[in-house]
Structure 1
Amino acid sequence: MADLPRDRLSTEPPFTNVGLDVFGPWNISTCRTRGGDANSKRWAVLFTCLSVHAVHIELIEAMNTSSFINALRRFFAIHGPPKLIRSDCGTNIKGACKELQILLEDTNEPSMQRYLSEEGCMWIFNPPHSSHMGGVWERMIGVSRQILDFMLSQISPSCLTHEVLSTLMAEVTAIINARPLTPISTDGELPFLLTPAMILTKKICTPPHDNADLHCQQWKRVQHLANIFWTRWKREYLSTLESRSKWQDSQPNIKEGDLVLLRDNQSKRNQWPMALVIKATPDTDGKVGKLELKVTKSGTVKTFFRPITEVVVLMSS
């Protein structure tokens, strides 16, 4: 298994490195008319801090560039512009957000490209059909859905408005950020849990210490709590992420010119198309993770970007 990326090991302020995804939609009641309730749809953009796994959720009214930029602006206004943003570029962003017009390693939509360059952000897109590369934020979406589905089951559909949904999203955010990152300890010297909310709000019971100045100077107390969080984060939490339970043996990289079989969940295996590798992109550890493939079908040549998990090597060059 590959080493953790640098942005997963950073002890910079929360939401310096972010992974995001869009999920939804939900039908809400916008207004009441004589013919009944007028309904509309809402989606949500979930921002996940890649280091402390804190989340932030913003509602959007439409799946277009304007609504998405407004969600980014609200997030930046609260937490500041991040240095790095990661997201999917397949069924989650490119496929679901058709109006966003985002392609691999680039932002073709002028307003999106201009806004990101003004904020000094770097955006890295995963290749299509590689949701496993965004497991950090995909897991948070699964947790959010479980909590939100339970809350919505307690509310009548006719009473679900934009304000109610926005309130529910805030409560979901608070619940997720209050979850413990490590197993609960029985040690009496650790009276509080290591949670994302601890570093976000600093509202926890002050642990025992000998420095009397911490009681009278608030900024020293806050700094002390932050230092305790990052110390425990390194000692207790990082060790749980570094275990390698499989893929211990090194395999040869896929090279340009290899003939591969392209997985297609919509077709039977004997109908999967053959493709030629025209570009193999290695990661920082030297292992190839992304491929550019050329597929010829019925005289038409098409180019696809896929992760190595979506291909089967038939013949090496």
Structure 2
Amino acid sequence: MNARLTYEELTTVLVEIEAVLNSRPISPLSSDPSDYEALTPGHFITGSALKSLPEREVAANINPVDKWSQLLARTKWTTDHANIAKDAMNLVHEDNVPPQRWQLGRTINAIPGKDTRVRVVDIRTSRGTNRRPIHKVAVLPI
């Protein structure tokens, strides 16, 4: 893609990307199952988690078809992944909420489908217990 952004648009996009990357959980801060905090790159920079900038629309003169074509490459179903283990730390996807505000939780129960692959999990968060489909959960590596 050959997109052209103004200096202000490029700077804004780069600052937002930096904030998102530095707010992304790396691993649990402790092995305690009741701890819902995760280590982020922000901890190495400032000693605590960073808060990203609020989301806002950036108007650019880029063809929407070109933007969409970048999102089409999918490898989700071509690689085999291990089932979620009990007490694994997860990010729980919530619709209409930016990723920096998704809840952190721990898996308390994994429910397999007919093919023995885990399809649904029960997750304990600081707000209580939720049952989520596996595609709404991101497991943090330990």
TM-score bracket, shorter-length normalisation: 0.3 to 0.5
Please say which structure displays the higher CA radius of gyration. 1
Higher helix share: 1
TM-score, reference length from structure 2: 0.44
